[in-house]
Amino acid sequence: MTETASPKMGSAEVWITGIGLATSLGEGLEANWDALNQRRINVDEKAFAPYVVHPFAPVNLDTQIPKKGDQRQMEAWQRIGTYAAGLALDSAGLKGNKEILGRMDMIVAAGGGERDISVDTNVLNAEAKGNAGPGFLNERLMNDLRPTLFLAQLSNLLAGNIAIVHGVTGSSRTFMGEEVAGVDAARVALARIAAGQSDIALIGGSQNGERKDLLVLYEFGDFNLKDKFAPVWARERHAGFALGSAGAFLVIESKAHATARGAKPFARLTSVVADFSRRKHPGDVTSTLENLWSKLGKIDAGAIITGASGAEPATSEERAFLTKHPGFAVRATGTSFGHTMETQFPLGLALAALSISRGALFAPGDSSGVEIEMSETPTQIVVIGTGHWRGEGMALVEAIK
C-alpha cells in the first residue's frame, strides 16, 4: 500500500464494476435474476433430513478453474468461491489483465474447516469400541487424512486459491466471523479505496451448505431449519435457517480508475457501516439497526435487500426495525438462497447492484406480506446483514448520477 499524496478522507466515489454469482439457483447474473423473478427456490429436504439445505447448482468448474490439479486441491467451498471470483473478474472485463490483477486488492469473508466426515466417523467408532490406545487418534489422523486437506480447510486459502488460479496478487486479506465478516470485508475495502489507499478490490465469499459438520455447529444452538422449508418471514413455528450454497464476489473500484479503463459500472457503493450490539436487552438489535440506518447517508426512497437469517430473536428484532421504515420494498435473500453466512452480505450487495443496473427490483420471494411489489425504478437500495448471533451491518447502493 504505497500512498504518495495526502489521502483525502473518504472522498473518492466507488463503483461496483463486476459481479460474480454461483448459487443454488444457478450461475451468472441472468440465471439468478430469472430464478428470482420466477420465484424459483432450490431446496433439498431429503438428503440431509431432517435438516433443510439449499444445494449448489452444479457448474462446469473447468471454465473458471482450468487445471484439474487446482480443483482437487480445494474443498467444495473453495471451488464455489474461486469459480464465483472468476465470474466477477469476467464481469468486470479484467480476466487476464495481468497489470491490473497484479495490483488488485482482495478481501475475502471466509468460513472453511470442511471435515473429512468418514475419517472422523471411523475414529469415533473405533474409540467407542474400546480399541483406542493413547496414540490412536494420532495414528489414524496421520494415516487417513489426505495431506492437502488442511489447505482445503484453511480460511485464508480461498484467497490463496483465487490468487493462484486468477492471478489476483495485490494485497490478500481474509476476514472470519460469520455474517458480519462479509459486511466488514466490503466496509474496509470501500474505506481503503475512498481514502486513496487502494484503487480496486475484489470482495466476497463462499459457502458450501451441504455439510453435516457445519450443521453440527448450528445444531448446538438449535438454529437449523428442520423438516420443511418455509420463507424467512414465515418461521414462527420453528425459527432457524437453512444452510445455503453460494459464491458471491464483486469488483469495486474508484470512479477515476473505472473511468480511465472504460469500465461499465453496475452501481455506486456509497457507504457500508457495521456494529457489534452486545444484545443484552430486548430491542438492542432494533436500535442498533436504527443507528446504522442513520449513518448510511441521505435515503429518499428505495428498497431493502436483507440477509435476515430466520434465527430468533434477531429476525423479529429486524422486523421491528423494518416496520419503522414502511415505504421500502423488502427482499429476504435467506428465502431464495438459504443462509450463506459470510457470503450473505456480498450476495445482497450483488443483487442490489444488479437491480439498480436493470432498473427494477426483483420479485417478492414469498406471500407473507412482508415483501411487496415495487413498480418504480430503484435508485437507492439498502442492504442489511444481521448476524444470527452477533454483528450488524448495512450498506447503501445507489444508481450512478
Partner 1 sequence: MTAAQDKFGRPVVVVTGMGVVTSLGAGKTDNWAKLTAGESGIRTITRFPTEGLKTTMAGTVDFVPVEPFSSTDLSERLGDLAAEEAVTQASIGSKGDFPGPLFLAVAPVEIEWPQRQELARVVGTTDFSYDDLLRVCGGGKFTRYHQRFLFGSVADYLAEKYGTKGSPISLSTACASGATAIQLGVEAIRRGEASATLCVATDGSVNPEALVRFSLLSALSTHNDPPQQAVRPFSKNRDGFVMAEGAGALVLESYEAAAARGAKILGIVAGCGELADSFHRTRSSPDGKPIIGCVRNALADAGLAPEQIDYINAHGTGTPENDKMEYLGISSVFGERTSQVPVSSNKSMVGHTLSAAGAVEAIFSLLTLEHQRIPPTINYEVPDPAIPFDVVPNKARDARVTAVMSNSFGFGGQNASLILTCEPV
Instruction: Report the site for partner 1 in 198-217 (rule: CB under 8 A).
Output: 212-213, 215-217
- Nearer Cβ to partner 1, position 358 or 390? 390
- Nearer Cβ to partner 1, position 7 or 313? 7
The binder of partner 1 chosen from 97, 197, 357, 379 (CB under 8 A): 197
CB 269 within 8 A of CB 186: yes
Using only C-alpha atoms, the chain has a radius of gyration, in whole angstroms, of 21
Site for partner 1 in 128-187 (CB under 8 A): 128-129, 133-139, 141-142, 145, 147-151, 153-157, 159-161, 163-164, 167-178, 180-181, 183-184, 187
- Nearer Cβ to partner 1, position 193 or 397? 193
Residue 132: CB minimum distance to partner 1, A: 10
Residue 218 engages partner 1 in binding (rule: CB under 8 A): yes
Q: 57 CB contacts (<8 Å, ≥6 apart)?
A: 22, 23, 24, 25, 26, 27, 31, 42
CB 339 within 8 A of CB 310: yes
Cell numbers for 372, please give them: 411487496
Residue 243: CB minimum distance to partner 1, A: 13
- Nearer Cβ to partner 1, position 56 or 223? 223
Q: 398 CB contacts (<8 Å, ≥6 apart)?
A: 267, 268, 270, 356, 379, 380, 381
Residue 396: CB minimum distance to partner 1, A: 17
Site for partner 1 in 360-399 (CB under 8 A): 389-393
Residue 187: CB minimum distance to partner 1, A: 8
- Nearer Cβ to partner 1, position 32 or 224? 224
The binder of partner 1 chosen from 188, 202, 203, 232 (CB under 8 A): 188
Please tell me the total number of residues recorded for the chain in this structure.
401
Looking up cell 444470527 gives: 388
- Nearer Cβ to partner 1, position 330 or 382? 382
Among 150, 191, 189, 151, CA closest to 170: 189
- Nearer Cβ to partner 1, position 218 or 293? 218
Where would I find the H helices in 311-343?
A: 314-323, 333-337
Residue 127 engages partner 1 in binding (rule: CB under 8 A): yes
What string marks each residue from 13 to 52 as x (binds partner 1 by CB under 8 A) or -?
--------------------------------------x-
CA–CA distance from 48 to each of 25, 215, 230, 333 (Å)? 19, 9, 16, 21
- Nearer Cβ to partner 1, position 218 or 266? 218
- What gap in Å lies between CA 264 and CA 145, rounded to an integer? 46
Helix (H) or strand (E) holding 254: strand 246-254
What string marks each residue from 93 to 112 as x (binds partner 1 by CB under 8 A) or -?
-------------x---xxx
Residue 269: CB minimum distance to partner 1, A: 16
Residue 238: CB minimum distance to partner 1, A: 12
**How far is C-alpha 255 from the geometric centre of its chain's CA atoms?**
24
- What gap in Å lies between CA 149 and CA 205, rounded to an integer? 20
CA–CA distance from 95 to each of 65, 87, 102, 120 (Å)? 12, 9, 11, 39
CB 40 within 8 A of CB 229: no
Angle at the Cα of 183 from the Cα atoms of 179 and 185, rounded to 5 degrees: 110
The binder of partner 1 chosen from 42, 71, 224, 315 (CB under 8 A): 224
Where would I find the H helices in 13-113?
A: 28-37, 68-72, 76-91, 98-101
- Nearer Cβ to partner 1, position 217 or 260? 217
- Nearer Cβ to partner 1, position 178 or 371? 178
Looking up cell 475419517 gives: 119
Count the site residues for partner 1 by CB under 8 A. Answer: 93
Residue 209: CB minimum distance to partner 1, A: 14
What string marks each residue from 250 to 279 as x (binds partner 1 by CB under 8 A) or -?
------------------------xxx-x-
